[in-house]
Amino acid sequence: MRIWEVFQSGGPVMWPLLACSFLALVVILERTMFWLGAFWRRSRDLPGEILGLAAQGQWERIRQRTEGSRNHVVRVLVSGILHRNFDMGKAMEAEAEQQIREMQRFMGVLDTMITVSPLLGIFGTVLGIITSFKVLGMSGLQDPRAVTGGIAQALITTAAGLGIAITSVFPYNYFNSRIDHACHEMEKYATGLELACERAVAENGKTGRDAA
């Protein structure tokens, strides 16, 4: 049986299921490209280098090293450094929230597709069973093909809805794990930057007392 024939056998509910599968696929592809881009611009050694330079108070060197960087950790650290004379913690927190919002973009759509697809499949199942019983009541067992057609419709929509949900939940969980890892990474380096700046201030104060 061809794919189009299977699709038609599923009844009218297959159209919203097709829309769900399309939306889920678009979001998965978009988020995959986003995380691939984040991987290529991650600059693994740069955050640690920034902390070392911050401990020495080399702010101009940090500006040169981070110029044009789109790494989420680096951007959080740069935001804190730019506001180091005001409220470094709140500045980094605000930037981290902005980065997390970008990471969570369209995740709600994917979550909705995972939830709605099986429900649509069940809805199609109910419609197929209703059709089967309606035909059975009108023709009895004289036309078994008409009855099995409704049952086939019920099974196809259920399988389609579950298939969409199952294939979408794996990338959904993976993207969420990447978000959790990024949050932990930003928090770790933000705390490290605050400690590095405190160390720089303490060393500058000590040097001043020694010079005096």
Q: Select the more confidently predicted residue: 205 or 114.
A: 114
Instruction: Output the pTM of the full model.
Output: 0.83
Q: What is the pLDDT of residue 210?
A: 41
DSSP state of 69: -
pLDDT per residue as tens digits for the range 116-148: 999 999 998 888 787 777 766 665 556 666 566
Q: Work out the number of other CB atoms within 10 angstroms of the CB of residue 130.
A: 12
DSSP state of 86: S
Q: Which two tokens stand for residue 17?
A: 């299921």
Lowest mean pLDDT among 37-41, 72-76, 162-166, 167-171: 37-41
Q: What is the pLDDT of residue 60?
A: 86
How many whole angstroms separate alpha carbon 33 and alpha carbon 40? 11
Spans of all domains in the chain: 12-204
Q: Select the more confidently predicted residue: 86 or 6.
A: 86
Question: CB under 8 Å to 79, separation ≥6 — which residues?
Answer: 91, 92, 94, 95
Q: What is the pLDDT of residue 163?
A: 95
Q: What are the backbone angles phi and psi of residue 13, rounded to the nearest 5°? A: -70, -20
pLDDT per residue as tens digits for the range 22-47: 999 999 999 999 999 888 877 778 88
What average pLDDT is seen over the chain? Answer: 85
Q: Which two tokens stand for residue 43?
A: 């600059």
pLDDT per residue as tens digits for the range 94-118: 999 999 999 999 999 999 999 999 9
How many whole angstroms separate alpha carbon 59 and alpha carbon 25? 44
